[in-house]
Amino acid sequence: MPPLPTSRFDFPVPERLIARTPAARRDASRLLVVDRASRRLEHRTFAELGEFLHPGDLLVRNNASVLPARLRALRPTGGQVECLLLQALGGGERWRCLVRPGRKLAPGATFAAPGGEFSGRIEARREDGTAEVAFTTAAGEPLTAVANRVGAVPLPPYIERARETAGETNAGAFPDRERYQTVYAEPSRQVAAAAPTAGLHFTPELLARLAAADVGTADLTLHVGLGTFQPIATENVEDHAIHREVYEIPVATQARLFPPLPGRRVAVGTTSVRTIEDFLARHAAPLPHPCLAEAGIYILPPREFRGVDALITNFHQPRSTLLCLVSAFLTPGSTAGVDWLREIYQEAIGREYRFFSYGDAMLIL
């Protein structure tokens, strides 16, 4: 099979369609429904999702919670430092971080919060541009507790906000701390550097209506990393080095991924797809214990799917691995979904759907 050029996943998105604030109500987002069998498109709202789900269907969702991981600090010289917590490394408060300005923060450099809540020391620099930082907190409390007080939400780079303090309502009437988080996110699962955005459209009321209609839910946890925003820079998509992300699947969720099934497995977001497909590629039956593993799977056309029958997803950035996944799902086992996805996205642009993390959604049946 010939290589798949990355240029086929490239297209212009008008600036006016990049959603920088969420919809007034989560489920008021628009929903583009794609029927793969008939190739029919319907333009609805997310609140109408239940009309396309059946009793026995299962929503498989990522319950990862976003840590307010963007910390601001000062160097001893007074220079500003921005530190983004990416991964706890163990051995005390040692973290893998993105730090800026990187060129001025060599190993041994130190910084501290203006209010004295924490201090940090660069221990090492990695080839990927991240740093290993050893933190000390003023009261000896966990750094995550400090981040929840003084940190800011790590919004995607295309969403610009004023540099404000924790608890900011810097999206105007929409506090990012509330809206850049799913309503079912588990506070004990503050492991995401970015929100699993397909789930942002659900409300407690919508979930209650779906439960009353016998649509089930099953949770897993994928530690969403910044690699989700990394564009494909290679000429062909196959040559891209895919990022790796840790995931956890409890025993109860594992059991519901295998036949016999009462209905369809509806993945809420590409993070759920990646977790499910990586797990099922490794295991032919549920495990007797929770699964903790690292997904290095790269889903691109052509591909067959083992554990996903329908998909809820947002509209993604050009040249992204997420577009590869969605195009593969449109026409399993074929590369025809690449061109069809371009047609669908042109329809969405023509009808002025809102794109990216705070944007509208698509349901692929």
Same domain for 307 and 226, yes or no, is: yes
Q: Is residue 106 part of a domain?
A: yes
Number of folded domains in the chain?
Answer: 2
Same domain for 317 and 201, yes or no, is: yes
Same domain for 119 and 143, yes or no, is: yes
Neighbours of 340 (CB within 10 A): 16
Same domain for 204 and 296, yes or no, is: yes
Residue 306 and residue 60: Cα distance in Å, rounded?
Answer: 14
Q: Is 108 left (phi over 0), alpha (psi -120 to 50) or beta?
A: left
Q: Which residues pair with 70 in a beta bridge?
A: 84, 152
Q: What does the pLDDT profile of the chain (365 residues) look like in tens digits?
A: 889 999 999 999 999 999 999 999 999 999 999 999 999 999 999 999 999 999 999 999 999 999 999 999 999 999 999 999 998 898 789 999 999 997 779 999 999 999 999 999 999 999 888 999 999 999 889 999 999 999 999 888 888 775 444 444 444 445 898 999 999 999 999 999 899 999 999 999 999 999 999 999 999 999 998 887 789 999 999 999 999 999 999 999 999 999 999 999 999 999 999 999 999 999 999 999 999 999 999 999 999 999 999 999 999 999 999 999 999 999 999 999 999 999 999 999 999 999 999 999 999 99
Same domain for 117 and 146, yes or no, is: yes
| CA-closest candidate to residue 272, choices 290, 301, 245 | 245
Q: Tell me the CATH number at 240.
A: 3.40.1780.10
Q: Is residue 199 part of a domain?
A: yes
For 355, the token pair is 């794109």
Q: Is 213 helix (H, G, I), strand (E, B) or coil?
A: coil
Residue 334 and residue 329: Cα distance in Å, rounded?
Answer: 9
Q: Is residue 294 part of a domain?
A: yes
Which H helix or E strand runs over 268? strand 265-268
Same domain for 139 and 241, yes or no, is: no
**Model's pTM, two decimal places?**
0.93
Same domain for 285 and 327, yes or no, is: yes
Same domain for 220 and 129, yes or no, is: no
**Beta 131-137 vs 94-100: how paired, if at all?**
antiparallel
E strands along 126-215, which residues?
Answer: 131-137, 190-192
Same domain for 360 and 301, yes or no, is: yes
Is the previous residue joined to 332 through a cis bond, with omega within 30 degrees of 0? no
Q: Identify the domain containing residue 96 by its residue range.
A: 70-151
Q: Is 307 helix (H, G, I), strand (E, B) or coil?
A: coil
Same domain for 254 and 357, yes or no, is: yes
Q: Is residue 200 part of a domain?
A: yes
Same domain for 76 and 215, yes or no, is: no
112, 134, 151 - which closes a domain: 151
E strands along 39-130, which residues?
Answer: 40-45, 58-62, 65-66, 70-74, 80-88, 94-100, 110-112, 118-125
Q: Is residue 309 part of a domain?
A: yes
Q: Within 13 Å of residue 245, how many CA atoms lie on the same side as its CB?
A: 30
